[in-house]
Amino acid sequence: MTSLGDLMKKYIYILSSFVLFQFGHAAFAGIILFDDFDGDTTNLNGAAADIGGNWVAEVNGDFQTNGVFDGGRGSATLAFTPVDGFIYTAETWMTGITGTNRISFGFVDGQSSGTATSIRFQQNGDPVGRAWMDYIGSGDPIDNFAYNDLTGSAAWTDATLRDQSGGDIGMRIVLDTTAGTGNWTATWYAKSTVGTSFTEVRATETLLDETITSVGYSLYNNTIDGTIESFSVTAVIPEPSSIVLLLVSLAGGLLIFRRR
């Protein structure tokens, strides 16, 4: 059983992660969703992420708690609803990708544990992609794509990353809601080597549809395999906010309570 002390430590860590001090300037920042996929071969559906609720995943087990995905036509998502005033960054690192189809990642609308063509982000089903991208295991053409909703597809602009197939890949999508409803934007990034910087593969665009209720992955078809090593969504308020003071006070109060 998790002790009260362990729980307090966890919440202190989460709360304190929301406060970023830089050059004497306080801003709101924090990890709101996170999973390092340190499980086993158990079905990911219903499993708890390290931070941020339970996964809704394809019920046949094509996504596992150890991060392995094994073909299928389904998705794995965590509930997530962005609001105005933040910069959200969704990021993942995946390894050993093989096969002639695609793994998709990004911000979407809806969740499902079903198995069907309509479950893929590419379809007008549930869930449906909003700001997302995909990566191909192998095939011809092997272009990798970034998407603004369903109709706004574009090949990655970086030639090396665009034409790469299989192996390891990192994907990042920055969702900026600071300009308010009707003016949300997304920017798409990728990299293929640990320790290197992300490269922009699609320039910033205004979202075609801001209806976002989850974030995660989908499999295009049966022949795509690999392992998700990490997943996170962070949130930042670019300017100081009164919420910073609230979080500092809460974190401080918990520390005092913990010491007693």
For every residue of 73-122, DSSP letters joined together read S-EEEEE----TT-EEEEEEEEEEEESSSEEEEEEEE------SGGGSTT
- Residue reference for tokens 């603004």: 148
**Would you state the pLDDT for residue 73?**
79
- C-alpha 227/C-alpha 233 separation (Å) is 18
Residue 253 confidence (pLDDT) above 50 = no
pTM: 0.82
Residue 46 confidence (pLDDT) above 90 = yes
Q: 224-252, pLDDT tens digit by residue?
A: 999 999 999 999 998 654 444 444 444 44
**Would you state the pLDDT for residue 11?**
43
**Would you state the pLDDT for residue 2?**
46
* CATH code reported for the domain at 29-239: 2.60.120.200
Q: Whats the size of the chain, residue-wise?
A: 260
Torsion of CA 190, 193, 196, 200, to 10 degrees: -10
Which has more pLDDT, 255 or 145? 145
Residue 40 confidence (pLDDT) above 70 = yes
Which has more pLDDT, 14 or 129? 129
The pLDDT mean for the chain works out to 83
Which has more pLDDT, 201 or 247? 201
Q: Please report, rounded to a whole number, the percentage of residues in the chain having pLDDT higher than 90.
A: 62
**Which is nearest to 172 in space by CA: 188, 192, 149?**
188
Q: In the structure, what pLDDT confidence band is assigned to residue 119 with cuts at 50, 70 and 90? A: low
| pLDDT, average across residues 130-138 | 93
Residue 64 confidence (pLDDT) above 60 = yes
**Which is nearest to 137 in space by CA: 168, 173, 165, 175?**
165
Q: 71-115, pLDDT tens digit by residue?
A: 777 899 999 999 999 999 999 999 999 988 899 999 999 998 887
Q: Please report, rounded to a whole number, the percentage of residues in the chain having pLDDT higher than 70.
A: 78
**Would you state the pLDDT for residue 141?**
65
CB of 69 closer than 8 Å to CB of 62: yes
